[in-house]
Amino acid sequence: MDGEKERPDETTDMQETSSGTQPADSPELGEEIHRVVESLTRAARATWNSEQRRQLEVQIRQGLRSLVQELEEAFQKVQESEEGQELREKAEQIVARIRSSKVTAEVQAGLLKGLHALAEELQELADRLESQAQESTSSEDPGPDTSPPQEIPVSKED
């Protein structure tokens, strides 16, 4: 208990409710969360500004430059060789066959439709969450959420 604040009685900070024991002083929880966030921010800032991080960044940049240079040289050699040209021609033929395939078009259309539906659902979810956040900040006692659960429609198309 050295260095720790002693609290008179831990049980005095709790209230008995029908759902169990609940903290009576919720601003304290918010303060603790705020302290944790501040500490993490300070630690991240100190780490980011450290000399060790700067040296690591320089080493990574040098390594990436070297890797890019070696890859460019290797690709140049492959392009110039007969095998590389043949390989490129075969790859172009395969890509052309895939692009002209009916299955590819169907998969692309299905994927596009699915992504569109997902984007709409995510937008609705984001709107609901933003609305709830605004409501909770504008009212002093938001109370429990009594709205019925939302169902997300999922349609299967053949």
Q: Where do the structural domains in the chain lie, given as residue ranges?
A: 27-85
Cα 54 off chain centre by? 26
Q: Which of 1-5, 50-54, 139-143 has the lowest mean pLDDT?
A: 1-5
Helix 102-138 / helix 82-100 crossing angle, nearest 10 deg: 70
Q: pTM of the prediction?
A: 0.31
pLDDT over 90 (residue 70): yes
Please report, as a single letter, which amino acid is at residue 4.
E
Q: What average pLDDT does the segment 97-124 reach? A: 81
